[in-house]
Chains A and B, each alone.
Chain A
Amino acid sequence: MKTLLEVKNLKVRYGNIEALHGISFDVKEGEIVTLIGANGAGKSTTLLSICRLPPPEAPRVVEGDILFNGQSLLNVPPHKIVSDLDMALVPEGRRIFGNLTVEENLKLATYARKDGHEAAVRDYERVYALFPRLAERRKQRSESLSGGEQQMLALGRAIMSKCSFLMLDEPSMGLAPLLMYDMFRTLKELNREGLTILLIEQNANLALRFAHRGYVLDTGEIVAHGTSEQLLADPEVKKAYLGG
């Protein structure tokens, strides 16, 4: 399998505080890989470093490299990561445009698509089929959506932006269990169709049941990695992250 994303010895700072102390991991084409860890471990920082949102939120990469398809991302402008490399991030807190309607949020995500109107229309239908609730609320201002619906919209946006590599930052946050399983089923389905997924989760149990492989992040360092089965069986991981 081809390696899609390769993070090499990544050191990242916020101001003078180092948040990642040289982490390395990779994601291969077609995989679901999860990055688990406690609050403040540096999970979101890892994703923000890959996407490099504009300051002041952007953490600063001081050492190491991030390769996508063998190409370094460190000098690629953030919007090109989405428009040219077909990556997508569903960020922490969803960050939908609350002042736009559901439909407008989805439409905006097609801004940089180059594969024509028909492909976009197919994806609209896809999103509305996956999330019928979004279809019902398409004319509604999206800040009036429930948390779960907003999460669907955030994922819908990623689909509309045409991605082959999807990064998700705690998509289960604030979702009722039923909705959460729905969401993960949808993601699994997208993965079977060829979408590569890098998933960040605090809910390690859920994440490891869903992913093929995982890495455990602890205060800016990767302390364990392996296939999901290996990690689920690892006594240390069990004790620290899976509740004994």
Chain B
Amino acid sequence: MEIFQHILNALQFGSFYALIALGYTLVYGVLRLINFAHGDIFMVGAYIAYFVAVTLLGIGGLHLGMDMHPALALAITVPATMILTALVGVALERTMYRPLRRKGANRLYVVITALMAGLMLENGNLALLGASRKRFPDLLEKVVWDLGGGVSVTNLKVIVIVAAIAVFLLLQFIVTRTKIGMAMRGISYDKFAIPLMGIPLDTIIVFTFILGSSMAGLAGILFAMSYPILEPYMGALIGWKAFIAAVVGGIGDIRGAIVGGFLLGFIEIGVVAVFPSTLRDLFAFSVLLIILWLRPTGIFGVAQTTKI
């Protein structure tokens, strides 16, 4: 029965990886750019959620004297966090990536810019808020469901898993069925032909950043609710792991992000169930390396077709 408990935990962790991996994969799928700042956008999302929540609850933040019921505060915090985090992602694209794109800059410069942007977000946070950790307030009354046989699940865990799957289905729909999704896929193949279809290139790119960053914001708030201690470097390791999950799944493919994310969740929990937890990352990454060694393009990836 213990195994079911492990599976639930793996699904929860996998959901966080998947939600973040989706952002990497969307941006990469459209721009062939690895947005290394994405893990830190997730961190910023968690902090935004914190400030929105404490402001609404009247226990910090802007001190507007509000005194909202936690459930109502949660209902507002989720969309507000997603919108504000999306703005951060869009600001990043506008101020850093777009000027480089305009100049036709080499990809190396763009990657270095992304890494720097991430460091700026981390250290900007540190400078602004100091090194003390923030405690995320309780917004959701914890409910534990006993599934029998010693297996239990919290309402939050279920919400996290359902959110990841719902987001995946939504994005899959957008990308495969809508015109804007077709444009996103079209850009990755030939971005110069996009304006020839009457489509504003920058609008599609901004839309992509909105999608990816708002999902990181959602991951941020769900993570903060699950592990309520926030610190400026919280996005670094989980961001790298999500990136690797996206690569293993086949970066650029939405299904790959979700499968890679859950796969990483399962491997990690599986390792910890058998070995000491200090070996978790070593084992997990070894397994992922082996997968990449067997399938360099990732699980869903196809080799990039060379164009003339």
Contacts and interface: CB of A to CB of B under 8 A. Distances in A.
Interface in B260-308: 305, 307-308
B186 A97 contact: yes
Contacts of B197: 79, 82, 108-109, 111-112, 157, 161
A61 interface: no
Contact of B196 (A56, A77, A88, A143): A88
Nearest to B188: A99
Contacts of B185: 97, 99-100
Which of A56, A82, A97 is packed against the most chain B CB atoms within 10 Å?
A97
B191 interface: yes
Interface string A81-97: 11100001101010111
B103 interface: yes
Contacts of A55: 102-104
Contacts of A111: 179, 183, 197-199
Nearest to A101: B182
B2 interface: no
Interface residues of B, number: 25
B307 to A, nearest CB: 8
Contact of B186 (A54, A88, A108, A113): A108
Contact of A53 (B102, B182, B196, B198): B196
Contacts of A196: none
Interface in A35-87: 51, 53-57, 77-83
Nearest to A77: B200
Which of A55, A107, A111 is packed against the most chain B CB atoms within 10 Å?
A111
B182 A82 contact: no
B196 A91 contact: yes
Contacts of B233: none
B183 to A, nearest CB: 6
B141 interface: no
Interface in A88-127: 88-89, 91, 93, 95-100, 104, 107-113
Nearest to A160: B197
Nearest to A84: B198
Contact of B192 (A57, A81, A107): A57
A100 B198 contact: no
B192 A54 contact: yes
A82 B189 contact: no
A131 to B, nearest CB: 18
Interface string A171-194: 000000000000000000000000
Given A54-B201, A55-B104, A56-B104, A143 B193 contact: no
Contacts of B182: 97, 100, 104, 107-108
A129 to B, nearest CB: 22
Grouping DSSP codes into helix (H, G, I), strand (E, B) and loop, the B interface class, with mixed when no group exceeds half, is: helix
B180 to A, nearest CB: 8
B188 A89 contact: no
B195 interface: yes
A81 B199 CA distance: 10
Chain A: number of interface residues, binned into ranges: 20 to 34
Contacts of B308: 93
Contact of A98 (B192, B195, B199, B305): B305
Given A100-B185, A110-B179, A79 B200 contact: yes
B146 interface: no
B208 to A, nearest CB: 15
Given A107-B182, A108-B182, A108-B183, A100 B189 contact: yes
A104 B183 CA distance: 10
Nearest to B203: A79
A79 B201 contact: yes
B189 A99 contact: yes
Nearest to B176: A104
Contacts of A104: 182
B189 to A, nearest CB: 5
Interface in B92-118: 102-104
B104 A79 contact: no
A51 B196 contact: yes
Contacts of B192: 53-54, 57, 95
Contacts of A96: 193
B89 to A, nearest CB: 21
A81 B196 CA distance: 8
A98 B196 contact: no
Contact of A79 (B190, B195, B307): B195
A161 B194 CA distance: 12
B30 to A, nearest CB: 12
Which of B189, B196, B198 is packed against the most chain A CB atoms within 10 Å?
B198
Interface of A: 51, 53-57, 77-83, 88-89, 91, 93, 95-100, 104, 107-113, 143, 157, 161
20 contacts: A55-B104, A56-B104, A77-B195, A78-B195, A79-B197, A79-B199, A82-B195, A82-B197, A95-B192, A97-B185, A98-B305, A100-B185, A100-B186, A100-B189, A104-B182, A108-B182, A108-B197, A109-B198, A111-B183, A143-B305
